[in-house]
Chains A and B, each alone.
Chain A
């Protein structure tokens, strides 16, 4: 037929050309992989308060975690005065960086008058090494200070699949047998109370439970952030045994900002505010701040947005009453505001617990909301490169596994 199209002959590649293609793709993969490598091996640093007494590791509570990417440091501040004990954890969802930055502000400025405080800034270390670059998130967030900038990582919600793979079709929570979404098998706030011989995320959760039990923790605070179109935002979540305390703490905070309090549902398993209380003696509190950065209807997801929290689409949604906290685009939900909320939120939870239970006395000081509001967030972060701070610098990095040591040697060789 006259109209019949002529079939084009395929361009065939010889074996040599195929190898060249493979090498070219490997080079492209190298440059792509470099981004992920940088994020995975980034080391957050902070200048510890003079009162730091001990650095523990999560693997101290479950040795199987040693040399894994789930091992993470826990900083202990012991006043030496008999009292209660507090455990504070950030970044169990590492794409909520106000939680880890709150921990760093505490770690750099804490003063403990009575009792003992355990602070774990990277709850899910593995998740913090992945980032959410697939969701076009920036890799890092930097806080401006008088001496320069302090850089922090923006991680992912779940554990890194490089450390735990594959996901099942349905995640069956242990021990309840409740069916949860498949990706929640890597969500540390769905795997409590965990198990010693489970998946790496379950093992890490189990180790945290062991910490609560072995250290006889009285008050356990899990710091989070939430999208403002999600009902559980700007709130404490607590089980029955600590709900009244959360209520009083929320009322105290209303002088500075709105803080709700909600009961931990008994039928949703695996969360810290449920299982920490059920499987240990601790009084749990989970805190959420408004983080517009993780809302789904926003414009460009940039570092500036992470720091300032201003978005016109969310402002429109707020006008229509679709957000669960008030939202004003002029003010946004900046990082200092979110960190300040957490600092005061944790302080009030501790203070009110001591009031309710006089035998659990913990007297602790760190900058509060009004301090951060007056002086800025950077004011409370110290320069790790300053000579006077050299002996106090802590590097938040897991104890590297054998094959990682090879990379470290290579890195050192390149530097030389």
Chain B
């Protein structure tokens, strides 16, 4: 049972990570607040690790 819930939580984390990655990419291209160029760099910096994981670059 413990293994089952652990597996469920494990996949849940991946789903949450996917949602966060989606919003990072969405906000990178289109956002209403914090529109300065500096934030573009910050968003780009945050997006790259997700891209690497999706590409299985380890």
Contact = CB atoms under 8 A, between A and B. Distances in A.
Interface of A: 10-13, 15, 17-18, 21-22, 24-26, 29, 33, 40, 162, 165-166, 168, 172, 174, 195, 197-199, 403
B57 A18 contact: no
B3 A11 contact: no
9 contacts: A10-B35, A11-B37, A15-B29, A22-B47, A25-B41, A25-B44, A26-B51, A162-B58, A166-B13
Contact of A11 (B2, B36, B52, B56): B36
Given A17-B40, A22-B48, A29-B49, 15 more contacts: A10-B36, A12-B35, A13-B37, A15-B29, A17-B37, A18-B29, A21-B41, A25-B48, A26-B51, A40-B58, A165-B13, A166-B10, A195-B3, A198-B3, A199-B6
B2 A18 contact: no
The 4 closest A-B pairs by CB, nearest first: A25-B44, A10-B36, A11-B37, A166-B13
A197 B35 contact: no
B40 A197 contact: no
Interface string B1-21: 011001001100100000000
Contacts of A165: 13
Q: In terms of DSSP, what is the predominant structure of the interface of chain B?
A: helix
A270 to B, nearest CB: 15
Contacts of A172: 2
A17 B6 CA distance: 43
A29 B46 CA distance: 11
B48 A18 contact: no
Nearest to A163: B58
Contacts of A21: 37, 40-41, 44
A13 B52 contact: no
A30 to B, nearest CB: 9
A33 B57 contact: yes
Contact of B2 (A22, A162, A174): A174
A12 B37 contact: yes
A40 B57 CA distance: 11
A199 B45 CA distance: 30
Nearest to B41: A21
Contacts of B41: 21, 25
A33 B28 contact: no
Interface in B23-40: 28-29, 35-37, 40
Contacts of A198: 3
Given A40-B58, A162-B58, A174-B2, A26 B48 contact: yes
A33 B56 CA distance: 13
Nearest to A162: B58
